[in-house]
Amino acid sequence: MFKLTILKKWYRKSFMYRLLQNSRYRKVFCAILFFLIVSLILTLDLVPSKIDLEAGKVSHSDVEAPRTITFIDEEKTSELKKMKAKSIRIYEEDVSVNKRVKDRIISLFDLFMDKKILKETKYQKLISDIKDKYGPITDTTIKTLYEAPVEDLEELKGISLGLMEEQLQRRILPKDLPEAKDELAEKALELDLSKKYRLALVNILETFVEPNMKLDVEQTQKRRQEVMEQVEPETITVRKGEIIVRKGDVVTKDDIKALEALGLQKPQVNYLGIVGVIITIIILMVLVGLYLNYYKPEIWNDHKKVVFLELMVIIILVMGKIIDLFQKDYLLYTVPVAVASILTTILISTDIAIILTIFISFLVGILFDFNFSLAVIGFISGLVGIYSTSKITQRGDLNRAALNIGAVMAITVLGLSFNRSFYTWMEVIRPVGAGILNGFLVAIFANGLLPFLENSFDLTSSVRLLELANPSQPLLKKLLVNAQGSYNHSLLVGNLAETAADNIGADSLLARVGAYYHDIGKIKRPYFFADNQFGGENPHDKLKPNLSALIIKSHVKDGVELARKYKLPKPIIDIIEQHHGTNLISYFYQEALSDDKHDNIKESDFRYDGPKPQSKEAAIIMLADIVEAAVRSKNFKKSNHNRIEGLVREMIKEKLIEGQLDECDLTLKDLDVIARSFVKVLTGVYHHRVEYPENLLKEIKKGDSNGKSRDK
């Protein structure tokens, strides 16, 4: 205890303590802390841990993928590119082939047609020279041509040139050469010639025919490069939680590829991913901050409410991170985004809850590997929670809201399951079950966190207000027993305040409950207040005016003390403290002025200590309080609508002129609506009643007398 005291003293003297006393610096500090926590949660998976495995060796443990990743298989992609490129060949026509082939045919036949040279050349040398010059001309063909007369050779030459010319008119690719040879042979064999001439022609044509299309190397390389660039890379997808290597299995090259892609084998921090996430968080924070600053300044300037919203985000992200540790895809649907939506709706407002739900859903999508279908599902569940609790009337409504969320989640997840391929019904049942489980988690956490958050952040839920409105509440029972007149007055003020607040868009429930408790300070000295005297002796007749004023004023202080003792919410305490503002207790002030001959009277002694109403609800209760008391004091008996309206507007105008409404944000239009609301309620309460005829009253009295006689 001694050490703790020393630490507290040291902290209060520190620079950090002095810095945090400034609301602006405190807000900046909390924003930075919030940013760091959220960034840490969302980027934790982007900093991988090292796993040292080698291909061909046995793994000593299971290795799971910490996140879903799709990476390029460089080896397979390279093989695919090579295969695609190899199939690309671009050819151009070789114009020299036609002339070269014809020249060779003519040259061969001219050789055999020059009989003089043939006689001078030895036959074997002739065969050798022909084969060296023209290629695979067979001995049989050489013999046939050698023995053929010139006329036959001339005819065979013409036929050869004709058939070759016809064949070379077509595109002959290198791969088509065997087919071209077969076609030439088929045509030659169909000729009306002797068999030896036909066979000789077949040999000559097959020997001399060439492809007339050649490979365009430059265009082929260019086209191959284009095709390789267009090849879609071969990718491998590893799902979050998927076992990459099992314990006892031999590690393969593909396993190493997956580990390296995840940064587990050679840890690589994903700096770009981290920067992207951080920028996204900053953008979202700035957008929400601008919205609150411009459209909800009452939230933006309330440090506790801002911290509450930040805490909601962190709680949901931590829950998501814990669920993520189980590495089961279907458990993603159990992230209870709607917890934040429901609690914000109940404790702050519906519109803020919608903004927070969008913010959290986006971050949850980032948390689970940028799974924005999950973000949409989270947003839908949040909207269902907001709708289900926007008009909550009891704690049981929280459970009904959770059931609605579970049902909608199950239907939404079922729809998504049918929109993607699945192999077994368990792949559908598990996510749907997770959606239903989400509803149960929402019920557990919302019910569990609500009281804690109410107390920690001085926030008041409609559930708590409804509980306080119950007549069985200890303070209300005390007020009824000890100050019955004040109790009845408070009920009527509650009706007035609730109606007026509802009509101007203020918190009607807070106004009603605040009105019920605004006079609880009268419990301590009930008979000093006209509400509870019922025509009896007035204790103030024996007191000096300044003492009477002090007693009257003290009911505010006593009320605040009682409220704190019974742990009433801060908004109710504020209403008790502010419902008289700095009004003058004019009756005793005037009495003091008339009694004191030396003008020693201070007006401040006869004024309430304030503060003036700071909220619409407190101002409405102040006006309802004085208006109800004023109208009741007039004791209207006849038709009184105009008189009531005149009195109501006069009382409101008086408080406006006195400046009692300067510190709340009621407009003149609001005051007009409030006045009309008061008149409508009060006219209904103090309406004109028909008097019973005298003869009817006599009969009633006579009946009562006879009844008493029979009883006797």
pLDDT tens track for 648-670: 999 999 999 999 999 998 999 99
* Closest residue by Cα to residue 61 from 256, 329, 251, 267: 251
Predicted TM-score (pTM) of the model is 0.66
At residue 689, the pLDDT reads 59
**pLDDT score recorded for residue 396:** 77
Higher pLDDT, 5 or 77: 77
For residue 242, pLDDT beyond 80 = no
Pairing of strands 91-93, 213-215: antiparallel
Q: What is the distance between the alpha carbons of residues 435 and 428, in angstroms, rounded to a whole number?
A: 11
pLDDT at position 710 is 42
The residue that leads in pLDDT, 489 or 590, is: 489
pLDDT number for residue 6: 55
- Residue 339: predicted pLDDT: 95
pLDDT for 50 beyond 60: no
> Is the model more confident about 362 or about 192?
362
The pLDDT value given to residue 305: 92
Calculate the alpha carbon distances from 164 to 331, 569, 701 in Å. Answer: 76, 109, 144
Residue 172 confidence class, pLDDT cut points 50, 70, 90: confident
Nearest residue to 212 via CA among 158, 243, 169, 254:
169
pLDDT at 572: 94
**CA 329 to CA 334: how far, in whole Å?**
10
368: amino acid identity, one letter: F
Question: DSSP for 260-308?
Answer: HHTTSSS----HHHHHHHHHHHHHHHHHHHHHHHHH-HHHHT-HHHHHH
**What average pLDDT does the segment 104-126 reach?**
78
Positive or negative, the Cα torsion across 546, 548, 551, 552?
negative
pLDDT in tens, 556-602: 999 999 999 999 999 999 999 999 999 998 888 888 888 765 567 88
- Cα separation, 421 vs 428, in Å, equals 10
Q: Which two tokens stand for residue 57?
A: 């060796």
**CA 243, CA 48: separation in Å to the nearest integer?**
16
CB-based burial label for 402 (10 Å; 0-12, 13-18, 19+): buried
- Of the CA atoms within 13 Å of residue 412, those in its CB half-sphere come to 22
Cα separation, 71 vs 181, whole angstroms:
50
Mean pLDDT of the 52-72 span: 69
268 vs 11, more confident: 268
* pLDDT score at 442: 93
Q: How confident is the model at residue 62 (pLDDT cuts 50, 70, 90)?
A: low
Q: In this structure, are residues 287 and 281 in contact, taking their beta carbons and an 8 Å threshold? A: no
pLDDT at position 1 is 43
pLDDT of 698 strictly over 70? no
For residue 100, pLDDT beyond 50: yes
* Residue 44 structure tokens: 């934790």
User: What is the Cβ-side half-sphere exposure of residue 378, based on CA atoms within 13 angstroms?
Assistant: 32
Among the residue ranges 131-135, 178-182, 374-378, the one predicted with the least confidence is 131-135
Q: Residue 422 has what pLDDT?
A: 53
pLDDT tier, 312 (very low <50, low <70, confident <90, very high otherwise): very high
Query: Using alpha carbons only, how large is the chain's radius of gyration in Å?
Result: 50
Residue 133: its pLDDT value, please?
A: 82
DSSP label at 333? Answer: G
Q: How far apart are alpha carbons 644 and 679 in whole angstroms?
A: 6
Maximum average pLDDT range among 91-95, 435-439, 636-640:
435-439
- How many other C-beta atoms can be found within 10 angstroms of the C-beta atom of residue 657? 9
Q: Contacts from 300-309 at CB under 8 Å and sequence distance 24+?
A: 303/23, 303/26, 303/27, 303/30, 304/457, 304/458, 304/459, 305/348, 305/457, 305/459, 306/27, 306/30, 307/30, 307/457, 308/344, 308/347, 308/348, 308/453, 308/457, 308/459, 309/344, 309/348, 309/352, 309/356
For 211, phi then psi, to 5°, come to -65, 130
* DSSP element (H, E) containing 93: strand 91-93
692: phi then psi, degrees, rounded to nearest 5: -70, 140
Three-state secondary-structure class, residue 569? coil
Cis peptide before 613 (omega within 30 of 0): no
Q: Which of 98-112, 374-388, 514-528 has the lowest mean pLDDT?
A: 98-112
- Residue 509 pairs in a beta bridge with none
Long-range contacts, 502-509 (Cβ 8 Å, 24+): 503/673, 503/674, 503/676, 503/677, 504/616, 504/620, 504/666, 504/670, 504/673, 504/674, 506/616, 506/617, 506/620, 507/616, 507/617, 509/462, 509/465, 509/466, 509/469
What percentage of the chain reaches a pLDDT higher than 90? 33
| Mean per-residue pLDDT of the chain | 82
Confidence of residue 699 (pLDDT cuts 50, 70, 90): low
DSSP 485-551: HHHHHHHHHHHHHHHHHHHHTS-HHHHHHHHHHTTGGGGSSGGGSGGGTTTS--GGGGS-HHHHHHH
Confidence of residue 171 (pLDDT cuts 50, 70, 90): confident
| pLDDT per residue as tens digits for the range 424-446 | 667 778 888 898 999 999 999 99
Number of residues assigned to the chain: 712
Instruction: Return the structure tokens found at 623.
Output: 């006006």
CB 401 within 8 A of CB 389: yes
Highest mean pLDDT among 11-20, 115-124, 201-210, 665-674: 665-674
